[in-house]
Chain A
Amino acid sequence: MTSPGLKAAAGRSATPFVAAEQGFARQPLKLRPKAGLMGRSLHEAPMRYSGFKVITQGLFGNRGWQPAWRDPAPKPEYDAIIIGGGGHGLSTAFYLAKNHGMTNIAVLEKSHIGSGNIGRNTTIVRANYFLPGNSEFYSHSLKLWEGMEAELNYNVMHSQRGVINLFHSDGQRDAFARRGNMMINQGDDAILLDREGVREHLPYLDFEQTRFPIYGGLYHPRGGSARHDAVAWGYARGADSRGVDLIQNCEVTGIDIENGVVRGVQTTRGAIRAKQVGIIVAGRSSQVAAMAGMRLPIESHVLQAFVTEGLKPVINHVVSFGMGHFYISQSDKGGLVFGGDLDFYASYASRGNLPMVEHVMEAGMTLMPMIGRAKVLRSWGGIMDMTPDGSPIIDKTHIEGLFIDCGWNYGGFKAVPASGWCMAHLMATGTHHEVAAKFRLDRFATGHLLDEEGTGSQHNLH
C-alpha cells in the first residue's frame, strides 16, 4: 500500500545524517584561553569528555572530574538575560554565545538547571510535522539533534530508533500518507508501512483484535528518543564554557521597563540590568509575562506520563496508537515510558486525575497486551503551555528588548535545539530566523494560525 511518493522516501531515508553536510555540526568545542573567562578563572578550559577520559579517570579513583559548570554570583549588568534554565533557555544561551558571539549573558533559573519539563518528559525526538511553518522548523531541529553530541561533546544518548504512528482506518491511512509526503517534501524521511510491514517491526502488537484493527503505520526512521537531563546538562556546560553565567536559585520577581524599553529584572538575588531579556519559562509563561503587563494566548494544562520498572528490551521504537491517546518507548534503563493526552482542564498541579490514567492504561492494554504484567513505578504531571492553535511562539514583544519563547504545548522536547537556535537568532539580529518566522505572537489576532491538527484555534481543542 505504499504510495509512489513514499517509496521515494524509503530511498532517501537511507541517506545518513545530513547535519554535518549542512554545517550545523562537527564544529569541535574550542578550548578557550583563560582571558575568555572575563576575568573569572573558576576553572580551567572545560574538560573534554571521551571514552579515554572515562577509563583513565576510572583508573585513578574518578578524582579528576571537574564541575561541569561554574556557580557564579549575578553581575549587576548583562547584555542579555534569559529567564528560565530549562532546555529552551539553556540552548538559547548556548547559541547566543556560539552562533552570535554574545557571551556577556546570564540564564536565571528559580530552582536548579533542568528542574522543569526538560527533566521529566517522554523524550521523543521527531520531525513529522505537516504544515509549512512547522515542518521546516522541526526538520531543522532534527538536524541539530543529529549533530548535538559532537557539538556539545556530551553524550545525550540520542537514539534514532524510529517512530511508528499506527493507523486503524482507511481515512487515517490517507491522512498519514499525506503527512508522509509532506515530510518527504521537507527533506525528512517517511515510509508508509502496511499491516505486514508493521508486523515486521512490532510483532508484539495485538493484530487480531477486531475493534481497532491495525491497518499500518507511518514509519519515521530518523525519529527516536534521547536522555532528557543530559540535553539540559550538555547545553548548560556548553553555554558555561563560553562564558555564560548560569545563575540558579534566582527567581525573577519583576521586569523593569522604562518608556517601553526593557531595562533589566528584579530577582530574589537582587536587581540585574540588561539590554535584552528573553522569557523562556514554559508552563509559567503567563506569570512572567504578567510582570511585563502582558496577557498571553496561553492556558497551562497538565499532561501525565508514566514509567514502569526496568525490563529487558521489548520495545525498540517509539510507537503511537491511532485510536486512543497512547504512545510508548523504552528507555535505555529499561523502563517503559508512556503517556497519553492532556487532562483537559487548566492546571498547575503537576499531577493529574484518574480518568486519564485509566484511559492511558486501557489504550496501552488494547494495543499491546504484553505490557500488562509490567509494574508502573511512577507517574507525574507536567505543566504544558498550551496555545489556541497548538503551535509555539518565538517573537519580540511590544516592549523593546523583551522577547518571548513559549507555547510549546506538549511537544517542546524535540524543539529544544531549534528553539534555542531561532530565539538566539531573533535576540541577536532582531529578525526572525527563516524556519521560525511563523511562530508569531500576534498570529491569533491576525488569523495566521498554525493549526497542525486542523481542529480550530481555541484553548480546549489541542
Chain B
Amino acid sequence: MRLTCPLCGPRDRREFHYYGSDDYLRRPGADAPASAWDDYLHNRDNPAGLTRDLWYHDMGCTAWLVVTRNTVTHEIAAVEMVADPAVTAGGDRT
C-alpha cells in the first residue's frame, strides 16, 4: 500500500504511522459531558467501506494526514493535510 503524501508524493506504507479514525479531529470542549469524551476516545463508526482516518508521516515530512480510503478494497481516495483549514472545518460532531 502506498499513500500519496501532499508534500512528499507517493510513499511506502512503512513511512507512515496509523493513528485512528478522524474522530480524533473533533475533540470535545473542556466542559463537554463524559459521554462526549467516550465517543471521542472509544466509540467508532468503524465502517466497512469509505472511511477517513489519521496517519502521521513520521519517516518523511512529519505531517499529519487525513486519508480517505476504502476499508474493504484498501483503495485510497484522497490524502489531505490536517493542517489544511478546509480539511478540519467539518465541525464538532458532538
A residues in contact (CB < 8 Å) with B:
284, 286-287, 290, 295-300, 344-349, 353, 355, 388, 444-445, 457-460
Contact B1 A300 (CB under 8 A): no
Chain B 37-80, CB-CB to A under 8 Å as 1, else 0, gives 01101111111100101010000000000000001111000000
| Contacting residue for B72 out of A299, A349, A353, CB 8 A | A349
| In the complex with contacts A355-B13, A460-B18, A460-B19, A345-B53 CB distance below 8 A | yes
Nearest-neighbour CB distance to chain B for A80, whole angstroms, equals 26
B14: A residues at CB distance < 8 A: 355
User: Which residues of chain B come closer than 8 Å to A348, judged between CB atoms?
Assistant: 48, 71-72
- With A299-B44, A459-B44 already in contact, 7 other A-B pairs whose C-beta atoms are closer than 8 Å: A299-B46, A345-B53, A346-B20, A349-B71, A355-B13, A458-B41, A460-B20
CB-CB < 8 A to B1: which residues of A?
Answer: 353
What's the minimum C-beta distance from B56 to chain A, rounded to whole angstroms? 10
Contacts of B88 in A (CB 8 A): none
Is the beta-carbon distance between B43 and A344 smaller than 8 angstroms? no
- B side interface size, CB within 8 A: 27
Complex: A349 Cα to B73 Cα, angstroms:
6
User: Which residue of chain B is the closest to A445 with respect to CB atoms?
Assistant: B38
Which B residues contact A (CB, under 8 angstroms)? 1, 12-14, 18-21, 34-35, 38-39, 41-48, 51, 53, 55, 71-74
Question: Which residue of chain A is the closest to B47 with respect to CB atoms?
Answer: A286
Chain A positions within 8 Å of B53 at CB level: 345-346
Instruction: Name the distance in Å between A297's Cβ and chain B's nearest Cβ.
Output: 4
Minimal beta-carbon separation of B59 from chain A (angstroms): 12
Determine whether the beta carbon of B42 is less than 8 Å from that of A388: yes
Q: B45 — which chain A residues lie within 8 A by C-beta?
A: 286, 290, 295
Set of chain B residues within 8 Å of A444, measured between Cβ atoms: 38, 41-43
Which residues of chain B are near A347, meaning CB under 8 Å? 71, 74
Residues on B with C-beta less than 8 A from A300 are 46, 48, 71
CB pair B44 A297 closer than 8 Å = yes
Given B20, B38, B51, which contacts A459 in the complex, CB threshold below 8 Å? B20
Q: A299: which B residues are within 8 A, CB to CB?
A: 20-21, 44, 46
Q: Which of B35, B38, B39 has most chain A Cβ within 10 Å?
A: B38
Residues on B with C-beta less than 8 A from A445 are 34-35, 38, 42
Measured CB to CB, the nearest residue on chain A to B75 is A349
Distance in angstroms from A354 CB to nearest chain B CB is 8
Q: How far is the CB of B77 from chain A (nearest CB, A)?
A: 15
A298 touching B46, Cβ below 8 Å: yes
Question: Would A345 and B18 count as touching, CB distance under 8 A?
Answer: yes
- Report Cα–Cα, A287/B43, bound state, in Å: 13
With known contacts A284-B48, A344-B18, A460-B18, A353–B13 Cβ distance under 8 A? yes
Inter-chain contacts of B55 with A (CB < 8 A): 345
CB distance from B46 to the nearest CB of A (A): 4
